[in-house]
A and B are shown apart, each in its own frame.
Chain A
Amino acid sequence: MTEGVRANPAHAFAIGTVMTIAAEILRRTPLYALHLELGGKMVPFAGYEMPVQYPVGILKEHLHTRQKCGLFDVSHMGQGFLSGDTAALERLTPADVAGLKEGMQRYGLLLTADGTIKDDFMFSRLAGERDLYLVVNAGTKEGDFAYIAEKLAASLTPRFDRALLALQGPLAAEVLERHAPGISHLTFMNVVRAAVAGAPAIISRTGYTGEDGFEISLEGRDAERVARALLGESEVLPVGLGARDSLRLEAGLCLYGHDIDESRNPAEASLMWSIGKRRKEAGDFPGAASILKGAPAIRRVGLLPEGRAPAREGAEIADKTGRVIGKLTSGGFGPSLNAPVAMGYVETAFAAIGTPVDLMVRGKPLPALVAAMPFVPHQYRRPTK
C-alpha cells in the first residue's frame, strides 16, 4: 500500500508552504502539549506541528462539528494589528476598509500589483479602537506582513505569539455563553473584546466551517486554560486540520494556495462579492481594469462527482468530448453529504450550474456536475431585520 502516489496527504493540508527541508524546525502553538495529551496525530503544516486529527478520526470530528460543537486550534494563523492610516489598506485590497463599522469583521483579498490574489484575510474594527485587527493565513503570514509594511506607511505589529481558537457548530453559542456571558448576542461577523473563562480575548462570530461559531483570539499564556475549559463541556470535541479541510470544502470556502493563489484574480475565483460596492464603482484597486472588465476566461466552480469515488486536487476536468477545460483545486469526501465534493476552475462556458463534465481520475472519466456552493448550507447567525 502506498499512500499518496497521486495525492500527497501532507499536501492536502498545506497552505502554500512547501515542507521539504527535513531539518526545518517546526513551530508549535501554545496548545502543543494539549494536542499530544489528547492523542492528536501531529503533522507538519505551514511550518507548524499541528494535529491533523485526534483518535476519533476525521469523519466523526467533522460530523460532530456539524451536529454539536468542535474546538479547533488555529493559532498558526497570522494575527496582527495595523495602526496609523488604516484606510490605506485599500491600496492592497478591493474590500471596503474605510466603510467597516466598529464591532465588525470583514473578509478581504490581499492583491498583488497585477490584481492577483496574494492572500485572503479577515480584518476587524474593534469598538473604540483606531487599529485594525488582522488575521491572515499561516503559510503566508511573514510574506503578507512584509508586503503590507512595505507598501503602506501604516505600521503593522505582528502578534504571531497570540493563540486563536475556533469554536464551531450549532451548540457553539450555548457553550461559549457559559464562559463568556452575553457573547451569544453577537451576530455573524460581529467582533468584540470580551473575557472568556476570565481571560481577555477578541471574539468574533465567524469561522471556516459554514457553521455558526466563534473565533477566539487569546494571549498565548491563556490559551491552554481556555481550551481546557471549553473541552470540559460535554458538547465539545477537539477537531483537527483534516476535518477543518472537509468542513470548509463542503461550505464552499477557498483554501489559499490551492483554490486561490497569485495566478488567479477575484473574478476568476468567483470572489467578486468580497469587493466593496464603492470600490467596484471607483475601480481604485490593483488590477481593477482587468478584474472589472466582464466575464473572465475561467471561473472557480463547485463540482459534485457521481458515485462515491473522490476526485482529488490536480485532477483534470474535461468536457463530454474529452477536451480538458480545467483542473480541480480541492477535492475529497464530504462526510455530511456522504458523497465526494470538489471545486476547481473551468472555462467560463462550462461554469453554469448543472453543466455535465468529466473528472479524470486514474485515467478514467468520472462524471460530475457543476454545482452551486456551498454544498452544505451555511448556518451563520445573521441579524434579524
Chain B
Amino acid sequence: MPGLGRFIVARVLLAIPTILILLTIVFIVMRLIPGNPILAMVGMKAPPEYVEELMHKAGLDKPLYIQYIDYLSGIFRGDLGRSLIWGRRPVIAEIMDHFPATLELTIFAFIIAVILGTTTGVFGSSLRVIKGWRKFDSLMRIYGIISWTLFIPWIGMLLQLIFGVWLRVLPVAGRIDPGLEPPRITGLYVIDSIITQRWDSLVSALRHLVLPSITLGLVISGAFTRIVRNNMIEIFKQDFMMTYKAVGVSTWKFISAAFRNAFIPIMTIMGLQFAYLLAGAVLTETTFSWPGMGTFLVERITYADYTTVQGTVVFFAIIVVTINLIVDIVYAFIDPRIRY
C-alpha cells in the first residue's frame, strides 16, 4: 500500500500537538479557578501557616510556568502525578477506579444506539426508495430528530420514575448492589461476573445497566439514524444499485447489498461520535449516580484538584484522538485518495 505507512505516521504525529493543546488549555483554565485543593481540604480548620506549608509541599507555590513544565515532563514520562486531595493517590489509579464504569455504560449505550439507529435508518431509507413509503421515512426521521433533542437527565428521571418508583422493577441508581461486586479482572462488571461465574453479580450489574444505557443509547441513536439513512440513500443513488433493481433481485438482497457497501463509512462516522458519547455520559452518570469518569471529573473540578482534572482530560483526549485516528486510518486504507 503506497503511502499508507507515511499517512499513519503523519496522523500520529499530528495527534500529539492536538493533545498538547488540549492539555495547555485545561492547565490554564484550571489555574484560573480561584482557590486551590489544599485550601479545600484543610482551609477551615488548620492554622494559615500550616496551609501554606502544605501548599509548598505540593509544589503549588512555584511560579506557574515551572509548574507547567514540571507537569509536561511528567506526562512524557507517563506520570500523571498524584491527586492533591484526600489520600494523594496516583491520578492513574483514580482514573482506573472510575474508567471501567464509564466504559461499560458507553459500550452498552453504543450497542443500543447502533441497533436503534441502524434499524430506523435502514428501513426508513430502503422502504422509501423501494416501495415509495415516504411517510414511513419521515416518521423514522422524526424519531431521529426527537431522540437527539431529548434532554438526557429528563428522560433518565422519567424512566427512574416509571420503572424505579412506580413499578419498582429496576434500580434507579448505582452500578451494582454493594457487596455483589465481582472480583476485579477487567473492571467491567458484566464481563468479570461471567468470567468468575458469579451469576448474582451478573444479574445485579445488568439490572443496574438497563435504565442508564437505554437513556444514553436512545439519545445517541438519533444522530445514528441520520447517518445511516443518509449513507444508505447515497448508495441507493449509485448506478450499480440501479442495475440490481433492474435485474430484479429480492428486496432483502437489495437492502443488504446496499448496507454492506454503506457499512464502512457508517461505522467510521459512528466512531467519530465517540466524543458526544462521553459528553452524554457525564449527564447520564450524574442522573443515575453512576460512579464513572463523569461524576468523578465534575467532583474534582469543584475541589480544584488540578492534577486529577488535568490527568482526566488528558486521558479523555487520548482516547478521543486515538479513536479518531483508528477511524481515519481505516478510512484511508479503504480509499487511497484520502492520504494527502
Answer yes or no: do A and B interact: no
Binding site for A on B (CB under 8 A): none
Binding site for B on A (CB under 8 A): none
